[in-house]
A and B are shown apart, each in its own frame.
Chain A
Amino acid sequence: MKPTTYLPAVAGLALCATGAMAETPVLQVMTYDSFVSEWGPGPAVEAAFEAECACDLQFVGTGDGAALLARLQLEGPRTDADIVLGLDTNLTAAARETGLFAPHGVEADLDLPIAWTDAEFLPFDWGYFAFVGNAGAEAPASLQALADSDTKIVIQDPRSSTPGLGLLMWVKTAYGDEAPALWADLSDNIVTVTSGWSEAYGMFLEGEADAVLSYTTSPAYHLIAEEDDSKVAWAFDEGHYMQVEVAGKVAGTDQPALADQFLAFMVSEGFQSVIPTTNWMYPAVTPAGGLPDGFETLITPDTSLLLSPQDASAMRDAALDEWRTALSQ
């Protein structure tokens, strides 16, 4: 328990208390909310890293991935963060442009379905976007088949949600110039567009739609945490767009050595073994014991789709316009 106080009136005291602890170096990791939560990887990662670093690892949670970047942009060079963890490849181009990041310098043997060469951003986990539906129901075999069917889906808004943006990129990568036509075909399948993943997933569980845009790993949560095998992800012929979640070192960090140590730790067993059943994603480096039981039941797409950060950033606004036009008809 950190010496924080709930009473603003004594906030000053808390500052003094933090000052008194200054002998232990503090590494501040800015990340998204669900990473830090009690069920996220945060607590286990903190315990494992603090056991080897003789430091105090502090997480600062800030909404979702997009909120994380906005927060960093707001703070600018004055930020106290030493590490930013939880951006994805749709955001790294903009993150790089801030000029706030330094090369990570880690040589790791990553188990990603794609080659990884980014000098500033190092992956810690990854997954495939997918539509998740109920087992036993008719499952379309492609985006086009879904668009041609009567199946009802809930998706997230690309302007406010990472999966929503992922679907936008998925359709654009798979269909290119034909993307507007696919969106037009899909529009009568879309029950509604929610602002965040939680709303959409909640609505799906309540029976509001046949499927929801989520991850291929979502059924693993239900299977492992709830012993419920009624949820399945649909494998699509076009391939599945990937989300690669990365971390980067803030150039202006006052703890460069600790930050380097953390990044090296991030792709090691202590961090990676926690990821599958806390973040419900694939670890960037498969742990020695392999993936937890239940992960072998998940679909594994034959084709992995992913735009480079530059392409993702360049294509984003046009793709958003196409999406908005098609769904506003």
Chain B
Amino acid sequence: MRTSDAFTAATRFGLGARKGDFQTIASDPRGWLDAQLDARYVPSAALNKFPSTMDSIRYMRDEMQMKREQKQEKKEALAQNLDAAAKIKGAQQELRQDYVTQVAERTRGMADSPAPFFERLVQFWSNHFTVSTTKQQDLALVAAFERDAIRPHVLGNFHDMLRASTRHPAMEIYLDNFRSIGPDSLAGRRRDKGLNENLAREIMELHTLGVNGGYTQKDVTEFAKILTGWTVDADGRGDGSGFFFAPNLHEPGPKTLLGQVYYEDGVNEGERALSAFAAHPSTAKFVATKLARHFIADDPPPAAVDMLTATFKRSNGELLPMYRMLIVMDDAWANPLAKVKTPNDFIVSILRATGVSQTTDDKTIAGAFRTLNQLPFSAPSPAGWSDKGGDWIGAEALLQRIDVARYAARGIFAHTDPGQLMEDTIGPIASDETKRAVAHAGSAAEAITLLFASPEFQRR
């Protein structure tokens, strides 16, 4: 066993080391990780205070309703219009405020979690199935999406997570499927409306098969037809999950997807297609590559990807065997600094190291993410956040990180021993340069800034 293994377990697999972690982990780093893959793990209680998916839909619907009313009133009276505008602004601010609180609570839950490996996996999958507030209507739904569609399946089967993600209103809205209408469906014929192929394409390209996974434009269009009718339960007609299948939007007739004919079967066509994608060899390879990139290196060794691919296939998409394979793979432990922390990792690991997450207010936490361009649930595209170091470290990005480091140091230096903090966070792998920098800094605040800015703290 290497002396760096405790660091790797805490930082690469976990979310950064806390005081005493290395001592706890050192005797059995792999066992420490394995123990976190436990279905009995209870995440932060704050998550349960977030509104339910159904309530979130209601909030969004009410706001959109208000907007429509405002349009109507605009025609009627200017004075009324001003009132309505103020009302909407208030409602929007409230939703935004809730979102900031949810981001902060999620972060605290991760920073203080006794199962940081589990929480990292939540982030990984949440990013794999990206939903984003860049679609404004998703503002109230993104946190519920992670809690309700991702978390329950992190230790389960890939197919179940794919299904939960696709059915969740946050995804249906983010990738426009909720209003995709079969041109020959009842609604399509009446309203001269039609398909939107956004979700169909991204499920194949980004969630399952991968871009070279063996599908064509024709498959995208056919899958889009299959998915028509998969929409948001805006009126509470469904099973309470937020999903609703609307037969009047569904394109009738047979469809051909990846060479298979799907005879008309309503919602079951989409269910069948998702099962087929989950079981497809391209999906195994795609998911394995992403996991290897996250836990081994930006360009993971092909042999490691092959082993993970085989594991996915053998276990029919069960995810636990994948994680257990990663834990025992030498490649995952060989170079403890191979990966660069994303801004999210960087901020969470500072909060873990300093233990101040409960006393740092919501705005400060969200502000740090905003400064470093990675506000949770706001990825710029459905591909999610990049998992490659070069995409996160540019000149200006580094200055911003140093600034966040300085800000964090200012808050704790008065009662922190920088040398001890270094031992607690990067001790097993601290370089001579970093030790010297921390020892010779002009002040405790400067020493802590340099510690957080050091390559060992910024990598994982």
User: Is B one of A's binding partners?
Assistant: no
